[in-house]
Amino acid sequence: MTQPTTPLLQHLYPTILAGGVGTRLWPRSRKHLPKQFQDLTGNGRSMLQEAYDRVTPLVPPDHVYVITNHEYVDMVQAQLPDIPTANIVGEPAARGSAAAIGLGAIHLLHRDPDAIMAVLTADHLIRKPDTLRETLIAATELAQTGELITLGIRPSYPETGYGYIEMGDTLGQFRGMEARRVRRFREKPDLATARAFLAAGNFAWNSGMFIWRADVIMAQFQRFMPELYQALTAIQPTLHTSEAETAFARFWMPLQGNVTIDYGVMEKADRVAVFPVDLGWYDIGSWAALLDVLPKDDAGNVVQARHLHHDSRNILVFSKDRLIATIGLQDMIVVDTDDVILVMPADRAQDVKKIVQALQENGLNEYLE
């Protein structure tokens, strides 16, 4: 089990990124209610609430920060009533994960110059939260030395949809967990390459979770993303003042592109470390992923609906209030919402993006909102 707050953790600030729209989980994930605010797993807590629940055994609620789109600030407050309003950071516009993390970092530094930032996600399922907490403790210890730490997931199969981390020499044991030097970040591979990665044994999936000192990540921005750094340092003194809005308009809005932290910093930085761990980690970025991950009923189907079927298996069926009747379906997704029904084979789940794009192109925004 995990420990209560200790001196080691008194500067730890879990910072949950929760700004995405979750396009590939349309029509459940919509602009007015993105996936992270929904209970997709059917356990009564939204994905954001689950992300929060995973860290509150380690730190008090007022140490948890959420970075989100300004439109969702009220929703975060409603779902996480125990964290202070000041901890909910609304971006006036999305400028990529590097900028979102930078915005979190200046909030933490505004409060605590020794802040250690744990960048966490709200769109993954983590079946072993105890292991996550143990890893966060170990990583906090290592982060104090100035390392940029990423959590790498031990791969169980040659997934082509994730980035990979190539691991080098060991950095030693921290609280019983091994950290290794990151040799290189590798973009989503083709299948042959993914298989080679698995065979090599020194590759991990890039989870998008990071631990570092807030001042250390700022130093990286200064070096590798100077425009972002300048914007952040200009905004920082105005936080929680009446001048913030003007500062954001002047310095944040003009930021270019949607630069990821991987591309903007991690691939270039020197002291990058990884804890390769087994967290029971699942990306639930698509309906097919939910079909893979969620518990199945006796007939082998993922059902969150009133479902009557004849000869159907390995299908996912979502509906709030309608009966879904299926006959002879296999490996299919059926998602019912108030105004849209989506039907597709599980192996076409990535193409939901194309439907969303077609809706945008045809001005059918009512089905996206």
Residues in the site for a second copy, rule: CB under 8 A? 27, 308-311, 319, 322-329, 332, 334, 336, 339-345, 347-348, 351-352, 354-355, 358-359, 362, 364, 367
> Smallest distance, Å, CB 319 to a second copy?
7
Please report the sign of the dihedral spanned by the C-alpha atoms of residue 254, residue 259, residue 265, residue 267.
Answer: negative
Distance of alpha carbon 158 from its chain centroid, rounded? Answer: 21
> Smallest distance, Å, CB 26 to a second copy?
8
Question: Rounded to 5 degrees, what are φ and ψ at 44?
Answer: 95, -5
> Smallest distance, Å, CB 335 to a second copy?
9
Closest to a second copy by CB, 200 vs 358, is 358
Closest to a second copy by CB, 29 vs 260, is 29
> Smallest distance, Å, CB 303 to a second copy?
13
Q: What is the DSSP-derived secondary structure letter of residue 193?
A: H
Closest to a second copy by CB, 240 vs 306, is 306
> Smallest distance, Å, CB 46 to a second copy?
24
Closest to a second copy by CB, 219 vs 340, is 340
User: Which candidate, 298, 332, 336, places its Cα nearest to that of 318?
Assistant: 336
**Across the strands, what pairs with 121?**
17
Q: How far apart are CA 294 and CA 280, in angstroms?
A: 13
Closest to a second copy by CB, 10 vs 330, is 330
Q: How far is CA 216 from CA 64, 76, 144, 147, 302, in A?
A: 19, 28, 10, 8, 44
Q: Is the peptide bond before 27 cis (omega within 30 degrees of 0)?
A: yes
Helix 214-224 and helix 97-111, axial crossing angle in degrees, nearest 10: 130
Closest to a second copy by CB, 270 vs 361, is 361
> Smallest distance, Å, CB 315 to a second copy?
9
